[in-house]
Amino acid sequence: MALNALGRHIVLVGFMGSGKTSLGRQVAERLERPFLDLDAAIEERAGKTIGELFAERGEQEFRRIEEHAVRVALAGSDPAVLALGGGAVTSAETRQRVAEHFVILVDVDVDLAWRRARGSGRPLAQDEGEFRRLYAERRPLYREVGDAVANDPESAALAAAGVHWERGGVDRLGELVPGDGPAALVADANVMGIYGARAQEALGTRLQTAHELPAGEEAKHSAVVARIWSELRLDRGGTVVAFGGGCTTDVAGFAAATYLRGVPWVAVPTTLVGQVDAAIGGKTGIDIPGGKNLVGAFHWPARVVLDETLLETLPERERRQGRAELVKTQLLAGSELDARGAAAFKSALCLRDPRDHGPRQHLNLGHTFAHALEAAADFDLPHGEAVALGLLAALRLSGQDGLRDAVAELLAGAGLPLTVGDVDATEVARATRMDKKRLAERVPFVLVEAPGRVTPGHGVEDHDLLLAVQELLA
């Protein structure tokens, strides 16, 4: 079973009329991958419709042609999105081949499928009784090969990134943590006190050890990671379960990336920041005196479990931190998004660029300033509030005064402060130049042309940088 589509083809399977072709095009666009409709490819190569091929050669010969087309399509080295014909999974060879990739079942009710397929010219949609018999016959095969079920682009993007969205999902952690090996639960003291018993009960006999961290940024130190390493008893078949906010997933993910040269980990974010941003995409890290997140690793989680019920005990100030990340993501997407939509947006972007060499850098919008503000404030400034200020600074540098005013209104409406005091502007500017993304003496900034259009890699003059920072401190 494939846990995600990282470096793999995404293969859509499902019965006639399920909407595989339409969904496949949308998913391919989001992930910037090529799209191939297998039936259309067969028709183009043969110069005949599927119905004509069935009539001339029979179903058995068509399945042989289909097997060959699947074999050729899956041999491509660049990850793509493929929509298979409804009967492709009846071939044992095809089922075996797609098992090496990430398979999404596009499910459909038989009544809806019949309404869509009848009168379409499909050779196997001429008789309703036979149509329903085929549906019942093939349904177990779709379930057998499917790694996930999705019927819309957001669900598909989340599934392809290994993100599981379910209210009450924390109560099924024992099932949702992949594999059947032992698990080590890592959580900060606050989360452990509120949800620790619930998580431990859900993990059941799989729980081997539990590890408590300091709350917030205090967890992201080398001494804390060293303690986790010394306490872990996992073998390579075990899994670290990071249960908490962004700081917890950062440090627990980094411990997992480095323990035994890398063991699987599962993120269970309990904050809005974690659920829309921090826990998705496999960036892990800790702080050192020189700056925030300067030591870390890319280590894609085996699964991310997003459970909205975990936000019910979130203090209002913590909830506001997530709203800042949500505004940032809306600015990147150029459209309004709820938390699930923001998580799907980031999932797609990270799948396109898992190691932050290209489009994923868009997510740094406002963060170069934010991390500097946090460091200059000795980490007494919450991350979301720093991001809100960083967005305003980035829009100022972008020359987008009108958009800046509109974003400021959104942020203020979310209860986020738009200025910060007791921080030295020159210290913020210095910390900005120490950002982990710097190249030689140059720190690249993400700037905004318009909602939905941002570009990374911009150099900023020291004078302009200082003015932007001073404005935030006014």
pLDDT tens digit string along 61-81?
999 999 999 999 999 889 999
Q: What pLDDT, on the 0 to 100 scale, is given for residue 437?
A: 63
Mean pLDDT of the 17-44 span: 97
CATH of the domain at 239: 3.40.50.1970
Do 304 and 338 lie in a common domain? no
Pairing label, strands 183-188, 239-244: parallel
Do 148 and 191 lie in a common domain? no
Q: Please count the structural domains in the chain.
A: 3
Q: What pLDDT, on the 0 to 100 scale, is given for residue 151?
A: 97
Distances (CA, A) of 379 to 162, 220, 364, 368: 31, 11, 19, 15
Which residues make beta-bridge pairs with 211? 186
Q: Which residues contact 378 (CB under 8 A, 6 or more apart)?
A: none
Among residues 152, 186, 221, the one where a domain terminates is 152
Closest CA to 17 of 141, 108, 97, 93: 108
Please count the other Cβ atoms lying within 10 Å of the Cβ belonging to residue 236. 11
Is 179 within the bounds of a domain?
Answer: yes
Do 255 and 379 lie in a common domain? no
Higher pLDDT, 362 or 421: 362
Q: Where does residue 190 rank: exposed (0-12), middle (13-18), buried (19+ CB within 10 A)?
A: buried
Cα–chain center distance at 315: 25
Pairing label, strands 35-37, 81-83: parallel
Do 258 and 350 lie in a common domain? no
Q: What is the pLDDT of residues 300-311, one digit of tens each?
A: 999 999 999 999
Residue 189 pLDDT greater than 60, yes or no? yes
Do 303 and 337 lie in a common domain? no
Torsional class of 49: left (φ above 0), alpha (ψ -120 to 50), beta (otherwise):
beta
Do 221 and 277 lie in a common domain? yes
Do 47 and 122 lie in a common domain? yes
Among residues 152, 184, 217, the one where a domain terminates is 152
Are 297 and 254 in contact by the 8 Å Cβ rule? The answer is yes
Do 461 and 389 lie in a common domain? yes
Q: What is the pLDDT of residues 112-139, one digit of tens each?
A: 999 999 988 889 999 999 999 999 999 9
Are 148 and 105 in contact by the 8 Å Cβ rule? The answer is yes
Specify the 3-state DSSP secondary structure of 99: coil
Do 236 and 212 lie in a common domain? yes
State the residue for tokens 């990671």. Answer: 225
Query: DSSP character for 398?
Result: T
The pair of structure tokens assigned to 11 is 């293969």
Q: What pLDDT, on the 0 to 100 scale, is given for residue 474?
A: 64
Mean predicted lDDT score pLDDT of the chain:
93
Cα–chain center distance at 53: 41
Q: Give CA angle at 163 (162, 164), nearest 5°.
A: 115
Do 169 and 59 lie in a common domain? no
Q: What pLDDT, on the 0 to 100 scale, is given for residue 363?
A: 94
Q: What pLDDT, on the 0 to 100 scale, is given for residue 468?
A: 80
Domain that holds residue 83: 10-152
Cα–chain center distance at 440: 30
Query: DSSP character for 209?
Result: E
Dist CA 229 CA 204 (whole Å)? 23
Please count the other Cβ atoms lying within 10 Å of the Cβ belonging to residue 474. 9
Dist CA 463 CA 448 (whole Å)? 19
Q: What is the pLDDT of residues 78-94, one digit of tens each?
A: 999 999 999 999 999 99
Are 443 and 457 in contact by the 8 Å Cβ rule? The answer is no
Residue 174 pLDDT greater than 90, yes or no? yes
Is 443 within the bounds of a domain?
Answer: yes
Among residues 287, 314, 341, the one where a domain terminates is 314
Is 129 within the bounds of a domain?
Answer: yes
Q: What pLDDT, on the 0 to 100 scale, is given for residue 434?
A: 67
CATH of the domain at 62: 3.40.50.300
Is 2 within the bounds of a domain?
Answer: no
Q: What pLDDT, on the 0 to 100 scale, is given for residue 117?
A: 93
The distance in angstroms from the start CA to the end CA of the chain is: 55
Do 188 and 119 lie in a common domain? no
Residue 156 pLDDT greater than 80, yes or no? yes
Q: What pLDDT, on the 0 to 100 scale, is given for residue 206?
A: 97
Residue 28 pLDDT greater than 70, yes or no? yes
Q: What is the pLDDT of residues 390-439, one digit of tens each?
A: 999 999 999 999 999 999 999 999 999 888 777 877 788 777 776 666 65
- Whether the predicted model's global pTM rises above the 0.85 cut: yes
Closest CA to 104 of 147, 164, 153: 147
Higher pLDDT, 343 or 120: 343
Residue 466 pLDDT greater than 90, yes or no? no
Q: Which residues contact 193 (CB under 8 A, 6 or more apart)?
A: none
Do 279 and 362 lie in a common domain? no
Dist CA 169 CA 332 (whole Å)? 29
Mean pLDDT of the 214-233 span: 96
Mean pLDDT of the 31-38 span: 97
Phi and psi at residue 160, in whole multiples of 5°? -65, -25
Q: What pLDDT, on the 0 to 100 scale, is given for residue 376?
A: 82
Residue 209 pLDDT greater than 70, yes or no? yes
Q: What pLDDT, on the 0 to 100 scale, is given for residue 439?
A: 59
% of the chain with per-residue pLDDT over 90: 82
Is 90 within the bounds of a domain?
Answer: yes
